[in-house]
Amino acid sequence: MSGYSFTFHRASLVALPSGLLWWSDQRLLCVSDLHLGKSDRIARLGGTLLPPYENQDTFDRLASAIQILAPQTVVCLGDSFDDLAACSALPVDIHTLLTSLIAGRRWIWIEGNHDPGPIELGGTHLAEFKLQGLTFRHIAEPSATGEISGHYHPKTTVSIRGHSVTRSCFLVDSARIVLPAFGTFTGGLKTTDPALQNLMQQKAVAVLTGQKSLPVPMPSGRQKTNS
Amino acid sequence: MSKLPPIFQSWFESRGWQIHPHQRDLLDRAGDPATLLIAPTGGGKTLAGFLPTLIELSAGNHTGLHTLYVSPLKALAADIRRNLQTPVDEMGLPIRLDDRTGDTSQTRRKRQRADPPHILLTTPESLAILLSYEDAPRIFRGLKRVVVDEIHALAESKRGDQLMLCLSRLQALEPGLQRIGLSATVEDPPALASFLAHHPDPCNILLADPGPDPNISILQTQNPPPWSGAGAVYSVPEVMEEIHKANTTLVFINTRAQAEIFFQAVWRANTEDLPIGLHHGSLSREARDRVESAMVAGTLRAVVCTGSLDLGIDWGNVDLVVQIGAPKNVKRLVQRIGRSNHRYNAPSRAIIVPANRFEVVECQAALDAVKAHELDGEPRGPGPLDVLCQHILIRACSGPFDASALYSEVTTAGPYAGLQRAEFDACLDFCATGGYALQAYDRWQRLMQNPTKEWQLRDPRSTRAIRMNIGTIVDTETLAVRMKNRRGGTPLGEVEESFAATLVAGDTFLIGGQVVRYEGLREMTVEVTKQAGRKPRIAVFSGTKFATSTVLSHRVVALLYSGDWDALPAHTIDWLTVQRRISQLPEPGRMLVESFWRGDMAYTCFYGFAGRNALQTLGLLLTRRMEEAGLHPIGFVSTDYALLIWGLEPVPDAATLLTPAGLRDGLSTWLGENAVMKRSFRNVATIAGLIEKNLPGKRKSGRQATFSSDILYDTLRKYDPNHLMLEITRREAMSGLVDFGRIEEMLTRVEGRIDQITAPHITPLSAPLLLEVGKVAISGSAVTVLLEKEAEDLMREAGLN
């Protein structure tokens, strides 16, 4: 596994190159910001007609990870659906596939800002979830420690020989982990953004996703917030 | 022959003017459905275009819009309005004029819609927006004529295709509409006439007297040009001398970054403090305005500029044009030369300055082509479908339409005269439902059919988004650059966002002719401070790098092979003679391939003469084939004439690498993943309305909601490989950045006749390529390796891990 292994509040975790977080002692797989139904929502609101294939693509990648790792618990860190209507409008085939994935394991849906409230699939719905001193929630709380969250879709840029490469990334410091977005149609927020600069500690590490997980120091913001 | 009305006759006389023959010809043909006037700069072309209108309107009995004038530049629309106001005022004609561009205020636009002037001067984009309004039929009621200025420039881009679609719409509203096109000298007047015509009606061509041949030469310099590079800084002393001797000089240079460097060098050599300005598209509007008004006022002795000054505005006193660097294209050279000496029937004076040794040959070939009156131009092929998609959406904004009626309407436009119904239907389907193979649900509907089977917008609110997206110029994202101070600071210009992303505080670069120091990024603005006397990093401005045209490339090969080098300077003859001794010279109809070792690296040089874009693509394709053949290629560099690949193993047989079938296969598979294809896709998808344009101010509000067009491209390639957007992207790949069409042209020309030479060492012709730096392409797997190394370094430096 070409992931980045690290210890966080005494838990041995692996940041996988696909953007998933794996806690092997607990056989727990954590995924954030699936944003299923995104093209559906944009079309419904009169926007452009994006290719309606992102549900299939997101599902395929998640399903193949689950097949390899066989987790006992899957935690979805919120914004699993682009909105509630997108959830109920999920195509029948995706709905069926998702149901079969949920069957036979503990599946936890954390509420996100895009999909609060109950949804019609199996699994448990929680505002947040705690396990062995770690807290899983959608949006980070600045004062929390031992926290694993999503929401921000962090991405970072590394320049090599004048070319710059931008990848979505995990952010890790001693208090928290922020996961990258897993959904196919999701953009990113640069790690130099004040929201992330203010949230993370100075010595935070950004773990790039891609073929291999690559840790780099989280870039310090070019501009600190202009007060 | 029609007589000038007395009031016009006496106006001409009061100015001491004679009506030009072509102005009178155009007047005689004012009733024809379409006329194309080809005249040299300074021939009174614009007045010729307006004369029939001014005469018709002088009777004072026309209400509403009479003539629409369309130009490619906003500045030109405003400039022409001012120039036209003079005869109108002097003759006291009852004519109202107004211009409408992206810069026109909301109030004025509203007034123009409610009460249109007699003559409206505008741009293709502003016209498209006007046509998207529901009251378009009322706005254009009574329109008699459209004058398209600088049509040769418009016809080279999608802006022209969009304009011709707009004219087809106008003609449907006002069937009697007459079209006049005004053009500089072009290689194929009938093709341009067919572009302008309302098919199947004809379009006449009027050729004005082209005037005497230009007086054009190659600059003789003390120092020979360097072996590589494009800056031509070596020539500054002699160029300064020429500026000194002339009244007003325009110095054209091919890219914005080169213009910055050259301007700085000129300024250092400008011991007498001659007033010399700088003008290019990355400078702020304010900076460009200053130079333009100084030019009009006649207070400048020279302007160093890029293509931003190629068009239009009449500078009056220019008596010398200097072209720095090979012109790449004969037609553009001729048009630039035409910018000097605007007195009718006086020869223009121009000097060409080769930037490096190879360009000496190219400049000579270009000069020969100008003398032989051989112009070039790559035929553009049928109108692109992304522009048609946008047109369908614009049409839907103005009200419900019948599909068959719209199809017949668009096929009256020149670029779309050969459009198949199936292609039109595919575009309509894309606009209506997205056109996906996976038939999505009823929500996937932007257009729907009403009970009378007419198409209309499902949600009338989408007109706003469609109008915001109108236009075919897709900008790379740029950031403004300002001097840092408490209150905003002086705007200097723009740099590409990707360039800004590589800057760290303290880095220096050139902009607006000065070296500045990067301080930081503040609310989407690059803040800089003055930094005198340090060697700058050069900004990567997006100014286009033109590829050398097919005509010029062929002439270069012919000149090299002929051995008839009397016109070339001695240093160049020596260079070519050594090449002939060590290896051989490229031959028309064949391809020279040289192999040699340098250190422990095997080099292979392919003299394809297909232009830099095509040879860049060929480099991507060949290195992939070499990787498969176990030849371990490491990198490549390409110029307009050759491609140099290096690796661990020599290429045993170049011919097997260059099989057309293999290369075409590579185009559809490997190249599909390439960044160049993704960039073409982004442009296509933005124009067709799949992606919304990034608008200033709106940009960062979307945050996580926006995602890159690369994701859409990858998704479509995976799940819907035959989708219309990918089909259009593949068509675009044949020209433009990928330029596969030129590779096909090269293969047809060579037909397997490949001369592979094993040279004892590096050859004179290949040496300049080795000096090209920083263009090493990194392949997919190499990125990961380099990234890994970079990541380790960064972690170590930061004391982490």
> What are the tens digits of pLDDT across the range B562-592?
989 999 999 899 889 989 998 999 999 999 9
B581 touches chain A (CB under 8 A): no
Would you say how long chain B is, in residues? Answer: 801
Q: What is the pLDDT of residue A88?
A: 79
Who wins on pLDDT, A65 or A85? A65
Contacts of A153 in chain B (CB under 8 A): 704
Domain boundaries, chain B: 6-207, 215-371, 385-468, 478-530, 583-698+706-783
Q: List, for residues B447-502, the tens digit of each pLDDT value.
A: 999 999 999 999 888 898 899 889 987 766 667 788 887 666 777 877 776 667 66
A61 touches chain B (CB under 8 A): no
A96 is a domain residue: yes
Residue type, B18: Q
Q: Does the pLDDT at position B435 exceed 70?
A: yes
Q: What is the pLDDT of residue B631?
A: 84
Question: What order of strands is seen across the sheet that includes strand B508-511?
Answer: B491-496, B478-483, B525-530, B514-522, B508-511
Q: What is the pLDDT of residue A142?
A: 94
Q: What is the pLDDT of residue B520?
A: 76
Q: Which has the minimum average pLDDT: A150-154, B37-41, B403-407?
A: B37-41
Q: Where are the alpha helices (DSSP H) in B226-312?
A: 236-245, 256-269, 285-296
A227 is a domain residue: no
CB pairs under 8 A between A and B: 140
Q: Are B462 and B411 in contact (CB under 8 A)?
A: no
* Mean pLDDT of the B157-186 span: 95
Strand partners for B401: B455
Q: What is the pLDDT of residue B309?
A: 67
Q: What is the pLDDT of residue A21?
A: 98
Q: Does the pLDDT at position B145 exceed 80?
A: yes
Report residue B689's pLDDT band, with 50, 70 and 90 as the boundaries.
Answer: very high
Which of A159, A160, A179, A197 best probes binding to B when mutated, by most B CB atoms within 10 angstroms? A160
Report residue B46's pLDDT band, with 50, 70 and 90 as the boundaries.
Answer: confident
Q: Report the mean per-residue pLDDT for chain B.
A: 85
Query: How many domains does chain A divide into?
Result: 1
Q: What is the pLDDT of residue B698?
A: 42
Q: What is the pLDDT of residue A24?
A: 95
A176 touches chain B (CB under 8 A): no
Nearest CA in chain B to A6: B801
Instruction: Print the domain residue range for A143.
Output: 4-217
Provide, rounded to the nearest whole percent, the portion of chain B with pLDDT above 90. 44
CATH number for the domain running over B6-207:
3.40.50.300
Q: Is the CB of A46 less than 8 angstroms away from the CB of B459?
A: yes
Look up tokens 């990258």; give the residue. A180
B461 touches chain A (CB under 8 A): yes
Q: What is the pLDDT of residue B719?
A: 93
Q: Does the pLDDT at position B702 exceed 90?
A: no
Report residue B700's pLDDT band, with 50, 70 and 90 as the boundaries.
Answer: very low
Q: What is the pLDDT of residue B373?
A: 87
Q: What is the pLDDT of residue B636?
A: 81
Q: What is the pLDDT of residue B699?
A: 41
E-state strands within B109-160: 119-122, 145-148
Strand partners for A148: A136, A177
Q: Does the pLDDT at position B144 exceed 90?
A: yes
B145-148 and B67-70 strand pairing? parallel
Q: What is the pLDDT of residue B608?
A: 94
Q: Does the pLDDT at position B92 exceed 80?
A: yes
B433 touches chain A (CB under 8 A): yes
Q: Which of B36-40, B170-174, B300-304 has the highest mean pLDDT?
A: B170-174
Q: What is the pLDDT of residue B486?
A: 65
Report residue B755's pLDDT band, with 50, 70 and 90 as the boundaries.
Answer: very high
User: CA dist B380 to B144, B154, B732, Å?
Assistant: 30, 12, 10
Q: Does the pLDDT at position B606 exceed 90?
A: yes
Q: Is the CB of A187 less than 8 angstroms away from the CB of B704?
A: yes
Q: Does the pLDDT at position B41 exceed 90?
A: no
* Cis amide bond preceding B200, omega within 30: yes
Give the B window 769-788 contacts with A, CB below 8 Å: 774, 776, 778, 783-784, 786-788
Q: Which of B100-109, B247-256, B410-419, B508-517 has the highest mean pLDDT?
A: B410-419
Q: Does the pLDDT at position B756 exceed 80?
A: yes
Measured CA to CA, the distance from residue A32 to residue A34 in angstroms comes to 6
Of B436, B498, B800, the CB nearest to A217: B800
Q: Which of B524-533, B604-613, B730-739 has the highest mean pLDDT?
A: B604-613
In 3D, which of B358, B355, B299, B306 has the Cα closest to residue B332? Answer: B306
Report residue A141's pLDDT band, with 50, 70 and 90 as the boundaries.
Answer: very high
Helix (H, G, I), strand (E, B) or coil at B510: strand
Q: Are B501 and A159 in contact (CB under 8 A)?
A: yes
Q: Which of A179-193, B303-317, B726-740 has the highest mean pLDDT?
A: A179-193
Q: Are B681 and B737 in contact (CB under 8 A)?
A: no
Q: What is the pLDDT of residue B45?
A: 83
Which of A158, A184, A205, A222 best probes binding to B when mutated, by most B CB atoms within 10 angstroms? A222
Q: Does the pLDDT at position B595 exceed 70?
A: yes
Measured CA to CA, the distance from residue B732 to residue B263 in angstroms comes to 35
A52 is a domain residue: yes
In 3D, which of A192, A202, A180 has the Cα closest to residue B497? Answer: A192
A226 is a domain residue: no
Q: What is the pLDDT of residue B483?
A: 84
Report residue B610's pLDDT band, with 50, 70 and 90 as the boundaries.
Answer: very high
Q: Which has the minimum average pLDDT: A104-118, B490-504, B544-558?
A: B490-504
A225 is a domain residue: no
Report residue A227's pLDDT band, with 50, 70 and 90 as the boundaries.
Answer: very low
Q: What is the pLDDT of residue A140?
A: 95
Q: What is the pLDDT of residue B778?
A: 42
Q: Does the pLDDT at position A16 exceed 60?
A: yes
Alpha-carbon distance A72 to nearest alpha carbon in chain B (angstroms): 30
A52 touches chain B (CB under 8 A): yes
* Mean pLDDT of the B235-247 span: 93
Which residues, at least 6 apart from A173, have a Cβ–Cβ distance to it below 8 Å?
A200, A201, A203, A204, A205
Who wins on pLDDT, A209 or B736? A209
Report residue B129's pLDDT band, with 50, 70 and 90 as the boundaries.
Answer: very high
In 3D, which of B733, B499, B709 has the Cα closest to residue B613? Answer: B733
Handedness of CA B517, B521, B522, B525 (dihedral sign): positive
Q: Does the pLDDT at position B65 exceed 70?
A: yes
Q: Which has the minimum average pLDDT: B134-138, B251-255, B594-598?
A: B251-255
* Mean pLDDT of the B303-319 span: 72
B336: Cα separation from own chain's centroid:
15
Q: List, for residues A144-187, the tens digit of each pLDDT value.
A: 999 999 999 999 988 765 556 789 999 999 999 999 999 999 88
B690 touches chain A (CB under 8 A): yes
Q: What is the pLDDT of residue B704?
A: 39
Give the A window 94-133 contacts with B, CB below 8 Å: none
A223 is a domain residue: no
Q: Which of B200-209, B372-381, B615-624, B646-655 has the highest mean pLDDT?
A: B200-209
* Mean pLDDT of the B386-404 span: 97
Helix (H) or strand (E) holding A101: helix A92-102
Q: Are B180 and B35 in contact (CB under 8 A)?
A: yes
Q: Which has the minimum average pLDDT: A117-121, B535-539, B646-650?
A: B535-539
Give the B window 704-723 contacts with A, CB below 8 Å: 704-708, 711-712, 715-716, 718-720, 723
Contacts of A33 in chain B (CB under 8 A): 704
Measured CA to CA, the distance from residue B469 to residue B692 in angstroms comes to 6
How is B33-69 classified by DSSP, letter by letter?
A: SEEEEE--TTS-HHHHHHHHHHHHHTT----S--EEE
Q: Does the pLDDT at position B611 exceed 60?
A: yes
Q: What is the pLDDT of residue B543?
A: 44
Q: Does the pLDDT at position A108 exceed 90?
A: yes
- We report the CATH number of the domain holding residue A118 as 3.60.21
Q: What is the pLDDT of residue A160?
A: 66
Residue type, B731: R
Q: Which residues of B701-718 are buried (b: 16+ CB within 10 A; e: fewer)?
A: eeebebbebebbbbbbbe
Report residue B697's pLDDT band, with 50, 70 and 90 as the boundaries.
Answer: very low
CATH number for the domain running over B215-371:
3.40.50.300
Q: What is the pLDDT of residue B444?
A: 81
Who wins on pLDDT, B79 or B155? B155
